[in-house]
A = this chain, B = another copy of it.
Amino acid sequence: MKRFTKHTIKNSLKRIFMYRSCLMRLKMIGVEKVYSYTLADETGVTADQVRKDFSEYGITGNKKGGYEVNDLIEKLEKIFHRNKDHNIVLIGMGNIGTSLSRYNNFIHRNMNIVATFDIDPFKQKTRSEIPVYAMSRLKEIIDRFRVKVAIIAVPEISAQEVADELIQAGIKGIINFAPVLLKTPGDVIVNNINLCDELESVIYYVHSQMKSTGAKNLELLYRGMKY
Contact = CB atoms under 8 A, between A and B. Distances in A.
B6 A225 contact: yes
A224 B7 contact: yes
Contact of A109 (B187, B193, B200, B221): B200
Main secondary structure of the interface of A (DSSP, over half): mixed
A161 interface: no
Interface string A168-188: 000011110001110000110
Copies in the complex: 2
Nearest to A9: B201
Interface in A170-225: 172-175, 179-181, 186-187, 189, 191, 193-207, 209-211, 221-225
Contacts of A207: 80-81
Nearest to A225: B6
Contact of A10 (B44, B82, B206, B222): B222
A5 interface: yes
Interface in A63-101: 80-82, 86, 88, 95-96, 98-100
A32 interface: no
Interface in A98-126: 98-100, 102-103, 105-106, 109, 111
Interface of A: 1-10, 13-14, 17-18, 21-22, 25, 41-45, 80-82, 86, 88, 95-96, 98-100, 102-103, 105-106, 109, 111, 148-149, 151, 172-175, 179-181, 186-187, 189, 191, 193-207, 209-211, 221-227
9 A-B pairs with least C-beta separation: A6-B44, A95-B99, A173-B206, A173-B202, A99-B99, A17-B197, A5-B224, A172-B206, A189-B205
